[in-house]
Amino acid sequence: MQLQQLRYFVAVAETRHFTQAADELGVSQPTLSKQIHTLETSLGAPLFERIRGGVTLTVAGETLLPLAQRMIADADAAKDAVADIIGLRRGDVRLGATPSLCSSLVPGVLRAYRAEHPGISLHVTEGSSQDMIADLLAHSLDLALIVQPEHGVDPALETTELLRESLVVASVASGPPPTVARQLDLVELRHTPMVMFRDGYDIRDVTLQACERAGFTPKFAVEGGEMDAVLAFVEAGLGVALVPSMVLTNRPLLRATPLAPPGMRRTIALAHRRGAVMSHAATALREVVIEHCAATVHIG
């Protein structure tokens, strides 16, 4: 029993006429009659009785009709559902990002994606790059914006480099600058209280390693903050912090002082599982992320 045969059967049952049903279906009457006969043979019972001017349903036909109508409706609904997903009219996509990227890069990306695909449900997870990598490997995320580790990522993942971003020294704009020069040598911070991120933050590890290379251990004013908390502590004048330049774009209470060469930079990448068959929604989001970064992000 094929779906096409059921469609032919329903057309005849609703019109009570083979010729009229054939015209509506766009097939010849012999073709329609043959398919109905094949269906009756597979079911082991006649479905129609011929009467003057048309046909009427047998008991078997009356029993089959509501079932066939429901099967056709379910098949059409399934086809429409898949078409919606392929056409990006609905669906789900799960994106992960570090806190600094959630507050800087991600809002613009989601705004651009939502404008193109308003029917897609977006789910954003915030955490460290290590957390995002673990979630990708656990199939909890489709895509993740991460800080590319110097040693690379797990071979099960594939990354696309998006941009290289400078770290700057953030200080309260109403206070004295951390240096009288245009650029700050990191060693100048050896006696300056610093606001430090919590364990697991990429910037924390980068900062501690850079200070160690510069020959000093940083003096912590506050330790253990998330991105928003760190910036708020710096705004309160509790200390300075090394932060990505992007996060200071809309923070008028903070001053950004660049580091002297070679400075400190990090690579932002978009990661996904290698070889994974991504949904149409996730594929479209990946394209939007890459296009958005290429068009709007200009970071040294």
CA atoms within 13 A on the CB side of 59: 1
For the beta carbon of residue 101, count every other beta carbon within 10 angstroms. 26
Structure confidence at residue 128 (pLDDT)? 87
Place of tokens 């020069």: 181
Coil vs helix vs strand at 266? strand
Structure confidence at residue 111 (pLDDT)? 95
Least confidently predicted of 88-92, 173-177, 204-208? 88-92
CA distance linking residue 273 with residue 137, whole number of Å: 7
CA distance linking residue 231 with residue 195, whole number of Å: 9
pLDDT band with cut points at 50, 70 and 90 for residue 206: confident
Query: Which of these, 85, 149, 77, 90, lies nearest to 122 by C-alpha position?
Result: 90
pLDDT band with cut points at 50, 70 and 90 for residue 55: very high
Q: Please say if the pLDDT value at position 299 is more than 60.
A: no
Structure confidence at residue 205 (pLDDT)? 85
Query: Does 82 or 145 have the greater pLDDT score?
Result: 145
**pLDDT, mean over the chain:** 91
CA atoms within 13 A on the CB side of 208: 11
Structure confidence at residue 300 (pLDDT)? 45
Instruction: Report the pLDDT averaged over residues 1-14.
Output: 92
Structure confidence at residue 19 (pLDDT)? 93
Indicate yes or no: pTM above 0.75.
no
Q: Which domains does the chain have, with CATH numbers?
A: 3-86 (1.10.10.10), 91-163+266-296 (3.40.190.10), 165-265 (3.40.190.10)
Strand-pair partners of 168: 243, 258
Q: Please say if the pLDDT value at position 34 is more than 90.
A: yes
Instruction: Report the pLDDT averaged over residues 247-256.
Output: 92
Query: Does 54 or 86 have the greater pLDDT score?
Result: 54
Residue pair 113/122 in contact (Cβ under 8 Å)? The answer is yes
Give the burial string for 70-87 (b: 16+ CB within 10 Å, else e): ebeeeeeeeeeeeeebee
For the beta carbon of residue 176, count every other beta carbon within 10 angstroms. 9
Residue pair 232/106 in contact (Cβ under 8 Å)? The answer is no
